[in-house]
Amino acid sequence: PDELREKAKVIIQPIEPAKIDHPAKVDLGRQLFFEPRLSMSGIISCNTCHNLSLGGVDNLKTSIGHKWQPGPVNAPTVFNASLNFVQFWDGRAANLQEQAAGPIQNPIEMGMPHTLAVAVLQSIPGYVDEFKKIYGTDQIAIEQVTDAIAEFEKTLVTPNSRFDKWLKGDDKAITAEEREGFRIFYDSGCIACHNGPNLGGNSFQKIGVVEPYKSTSPAEGRAAVTKKDEDRWYFKVPTLRNVELTYPYFHDGQAKTLEEAVTLMGRLQLGRTFTDDEVKKVVAFLHTLTGERPQMPLPLLPPSGPNTPRPDPFK
């Protein structure tokens, strides 16, 4: 028996495949996730910033939103977001449904008032039918929109990473170097914050425990929600699942590479200066956390109706 694995299993759980309770809702949610008509410009959908062909992110320091406005923080992945205890870097949304109400009407994201978003959907006969079948009403409501999106997002899990295979008993799933990287990760204390099925996503922690983090970003973290000074620089610990795919790193997207992120975490959170060799091994371990991305059909969206409001993106 591998002692390291036994210790690991106590604090990290493998990602399980999604259980789909309501396939019609998931289908509707997928359409809405890819729906550019939910944006003021007509071209931005959830998938623009959380690209499911990539790592559920846009791989930008900060996102490009309505009229090319820069976002305030780095876009986190939607993969395995259902496993996070709260949503957003500062945790201001309790769950995925609550979260999904944000970006549509955010003026620097999709820029679309909810009343107009609902009017657009209500003008599209295909959507009216689908919502009616699922929610039993003729009048689409924003809570239904966000409920369907959340239900779809719950399917966006990434099981069967090499690390999970190792965790489940397959010795050959990871190399000796990767295992050693995990040992360093475990022994040096990363695991204190990056644990649970998401290796993160289950607590707020301060960035800069031992040494302050220098950032030009105005984001202040959890304090934005609690208004308490002691919560400044506390952010939801991000998942390390698929972290290979979710560059750049940190809430401000300032770290370009995993090497940089790991080096900084060692110093700022643990007061530890890793050697190049240690960094290399930890990064090798982090690459074993890439799981199977969900496969899905490209959704075909229902045609606009005669009265579907038309966007005017250069206004």
Residues near a copy of itself (CB under 8 A) are: 31, 34, 36, 41-43, 48-49, 51-55, 58-60, 64, 67-68, 70, 244-245, 247-248, 256-257, 290, 293, 295-301, 303-304, 306, 310-311, 313-314
Cβ neighbors of 288 (< 8 A, separation 6 or more) are 161, 162, 163, 166, 173, 174, 178, 182
| Residue of 97, 246, 288, 290 interacting with ligand HEC (CB under 6 A) | 246
| Residue of 27, 109, 130, 231 interacting with ligand HEC (CB under 6 A) | 109
CA 115 to chain centroid, in Å, comes to 26
193 touches ligand HEC by CB under 6 A: yes
- Catalytic residue numbers read 109
Q: How many residues bind ligand HEC (CB under 6 A)?
A: 52
In angstroms, the CA 248 to CA 312 distance is: 32
Using CB under 5 A as the binding rule, the residues of this chain from 135 to 154 that contact Ca ion are: 147
Residue keyed to tokens 């623009």:
48
| Residue of 25, 28, 76, 124 interacting with ligand HEC (CB under 6 A) | 76
Q: What is the DSSP letter of 100?
A: H
Q: Which is nearer to a copy of itself, 227 or 315 (CB)?
A: 315
Residue 103, both tokens: 């970006």
For residue 8, the surrounding DSSP H or E stretch is helix 3-11
Q: Which is nearer to ligand HEC, 172 or 275 (CB)?
A: 275
| Residue of 25, 37, 179, 194 interacting with ligand HEC (CB under 6 A) | 194
74 binds, among Ca ion, Mg ion, a copy of itself, none (CB under 5 to 8 A by kind): Ca ion
In angstroms, the CA 147 to CA 96 distance is: 8
Q: What is the DSSP letter of 171?
A: G
CA 42 to chain centroid, in Å, comes to 23
Which residues contact Mg ion by CB under 5 A?
A: 147
